[in-house]
Amino acid sequence: MTDPMAPLAATRANRTPAILIAVGAVLTALFIAAPLLVIFDQALSKGIDVYRANILHPETLHAIWLTTLTALVVLPINIAFGVTAAWAITKFEFRGKRLLLTAIDLPFSISPIVAGVSYLLLYGGLGLWGPWLMDRDIRIMFSVPAIFLVTMFVTSPFVARELITLMQAQGREREEVAATLGASGWQMFRRVTLPNIKWALLYGAVLCNARVMGEFGAVSVVSGNLRGQTNTLPLQVQLLYHDYNATGAFAAASVLTLLAFVTLILKAILERKAFDRRS
């Protein structure tokens, strides 16, 4: 006959996942879905016309533009930095390799506010190089270049980190074979390394982009918060909120959220592609 323990084992096996899933679903609803819904609910609370007017407000439009511009400037630089750093670290031996690895992780481990303040202390009017720059009429702090600089600093590890893990796992034998077959450094990178890392590279770029667009702390220290000039979207959200313009703030926030959704969808597609290739 059947094993007397079987029914018990079966119910237990059936119930545990259900409980875990329920807990997960409730937590997700409470802490992730609800705040997102509130954003759109608040943004649209005075009707779609007010929402449209809020987004089309010149200052908000400028903030959207500045955020996009920051991504367009910072992302390529950090991709280039990430790829070269990861290539050097994983495919070659050199002195100071560990130091470089630690330096790459540094922006992850210090608070963005601290990063902003240290840039202020270097480039600001009272900072280390400030007077020298001021003599030459170069203004970095409280202007758009400052936003680029700190964003670059804060988001620099994303691409490199993503690639280093993968490239370490892949080893360097393929590159070594390519070298003995006569490939130059560039050919080695272009034909052998790059095809093997492209999905991870895109994935790293997507993560980096999300952080570039959302960065608040460091940017708020160095931007100077000049309306319509040096306000990125996250800063604009805060500004509108402090102006008691909640609908405006949430409208701007909804734009950021939509950008985040686009990023997430891209990431999901990339992950699936990478997974398909591996299996």
Specify the DSSP class assigned to residue 32.
I
Spatial CB neighbours of 2, under 8 Å, sequence gap ≥ 6 = none
Inter-residue contact 135 to 141 (CB < 8 Å): no
User: From CA 130, how far away is CA 201, in angstroms rounded?
Assistant: 36
CB of 184 to other proteins, least distance (A): 7
Closer to other proteins at the Cβ: 166 or 178? 178
276 counts as binding other proteins under rule CB under 8 A? no
User: From CA 157, how far away is CA 85, in angstroms rounded?
Assistant: 10
CB of 277 to other proteins, least distance (A): 9
> What is the footprint of other proteins within residues 165-194 (CB under 8 A)?
173-174, 176-184, 187, 191-192
User: From CA 197, how far away is CA 171, in angstroms rounded?
Assistant: 12
CB of 279 to other proteins, least distance (A): 10
Closer to other proteins at the Cβ: 17 or 195? 195
CB atoms within 10 A of CB 58: 9
CB of 104 to other proteins, least distance (A): 23
Which amino acid is it at 36?
A: L
Closer to other proteins at the Cβ: 38 or 177? 177
191 to 220: interface string for other proteins, x by CB under 8 A: xx--xx------------------------
CA 223 to mean position of chain CA atoms: 19
What the block records as the tokens of 157 is 């590890």
Closer to other proteins at the Cβ: 183 or 262? 183
- Residue 28 host element (H or E): helix 6-28
Number of residues that bind other proteins (CB under 8 A): 16
Binding-site ranges for other proteins (CB under 8 A): 173-174, 176-184, 187, 191-192, 195-196
